[in-house]
């Protein structure tokens, strides 16, 4: 893979991380960022799941039967 970095960021990477460790450093930084995004998404989902109004609506939808009361294959043609 090839990536482009802004010049100041590239210069800081070259200055701060030895050549032998750069790939590992970037991989670890990328993994940390992706994990942080996953955690933020999970937290964002937790908030609505604690809302009593939303929980009530979910219970109402869960109570709806998935069985079809009248099959469409015998419905009159339009």
pLDDT tens digit sequence for 28-64: 999 999 999 999 999 888 877 788 888 888 888 888 8
> Residue 24: inside a domain, yes or no?
yes
- Where in the sequence is the domain holding 55, given as residue range(s)? 7-62
Residue 1 belongs to a domain? no
How many domains, in total, are found in the chain?
1
Would you place residue 70 in the very low, low, confident or very high pLDDT band (cuts 50, 70, 90)?
A: low
Helices (H) and strands (E) in the chain, counts: 3, 0
Residue 71 in any domain: the answer is no
The answer to whether residue 28 is domain-embedded is: yes
Q: Is residue 30 part of a domain?
A: yes
| Residue 56 is assigned to a structural domain of this protein | yes
40 falls within a domain: yes
Structural domain includes residue 72: no
């Amino acid at each position: 893979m090839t990536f482009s970095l802004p010049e100041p960021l590239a210069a800081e990477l070259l200055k701060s991380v030895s050549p032998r460790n750069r790939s590992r450093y970037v991989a670890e930084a990328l993994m940390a960022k992706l994990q942080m995004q996953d955690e933020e998404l999970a937290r964002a989902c937790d908030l609505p799941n604690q809302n009593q109004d939303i929980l009530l609506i979910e219970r109402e939808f869960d109570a709806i039967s998935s069985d079809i009361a009248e099959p469409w294959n015998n419905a009159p043609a339009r």
